[in-house]
Structure 1
């Protein structure tokens, strides 16, 4: 992405902060492809024939973003961080809906790095990860956000660092620590 495009996105987000209602519509062409890339990455982890498609996930996330008020957008990385959080929420809601009829109490064990699970375990795995991320947020909100942006949003260490206002080295260190903590929690 060219620096001029990054600057344009930041300016549009600032316009949105300033109350420009047209800014939301102007933003979509700039961010759509990146949001769709994130959604495709997330959906590639789902079973074939999943009822939620990447395009629908992007549109639902953008609708939810558009309804947000008072966010105080900082930059494009902040925007993508919020978008990845919302996509995670949408996938979790979708997984809850799918597994509502099953209601089994069998714990699901999996690794954050290895999400290629049997079809019947994917919805439960997303729910298990969401639950554990909630517990991680109680311990370290920052590590929870890093996991969310890396795992659900597909952001790079540099993009996460920019969104959180910390160094890339801190992201790498906290990502490593969070993965270890999650591994222990998910495989107890």
Structure 2
């Protein structure tokens, strides 16, 4: 990331979007803080966190995302993309660690707990099982998968998810219920 420093004055959405599209500038402090918080939630409780901290996750995701430059429509568009890339970084790390271990103990997880605390205390194998279930869900109904991804991995609120997807909040809530029901049939939750 470049050397441009931003003023400490709060920026509006269009200013943040313009800065995100400026490939030579640093991330806005507001956006970087949000990304670090998102990364901390995603790695909390993961065994991968012993070798990958929040800063490293943000940086690795930023580098991967930078390989495919695009124009960001909004801060939520950028955050959603970063959430997806962070998810893939964690999945790749989990696969690497599981390959080293050649398997491992599976632990039951509570979906309600995972929803309140995104990705907390998920075992590596559980993370891979969740990723596989989300991939299957994406094949069946891409919007349901995006709702879950934005809520669980992106940490976006119902309001932010609705705005990002261009649907109403009740639609997001219905989609979330449907996605949870699907996951309930695919995964063993407590």
Q: Same-fold call, TM > 0.5?
A: yes
Which one scores higher on RCO, CA 8 angstroms, separation ≥ 6? 1
For 1:69-88, what aligned pairs fall within 5 Å after superposition?
69=69, 71-88=70-87
Q: Which residue of 2 aligns with 1:39?
A: 39
**Equivalent-residue separation in structure 1 for 2:109 and 2:184 (angstroms):** 8
More helix, by proportion: 1
**Equivalent-residue separation in structure 2 for 1:183 and 1:3 (angstroms):** 42
Shift of 1:72: 3.9
Gaps of 5+ in 2: 1-8
RMSD: 2.8
Detail structure 1 runs of 4+ shifted over 4 Å in the superposition: 105-109
| TM-score after normalising by structure 1 | 0.82
Shift of 1:50: 1.8
What is the number of residues matched between the two proteins? 177
For 1:71-150, what aligned pairs fall within 5 Å after superposition?
71-104=70-103, 109-115=108-114, 122-150=123-151
Q: Which residue of 2 aligns with 1:20?
A: none
Shift of 1:76: 0.9
Spell out, residue by residue over 1:97-127, the C-alpha distance to the aligned partner (whole angstroms, 9 max, x if none).
Answer: 000033338766433333499x7x7111111
Gaps of 5+ in 1: 17-22
**Structure 1 residues 127 and 33: alpha-carbon distance in aligned structure 2, compared to 1, 3 A threshold:** same
**Structure 1 residues 174 and 163: alpha-carbon distance in aligned structure 2, compared to 1, 3 A threshold:** same
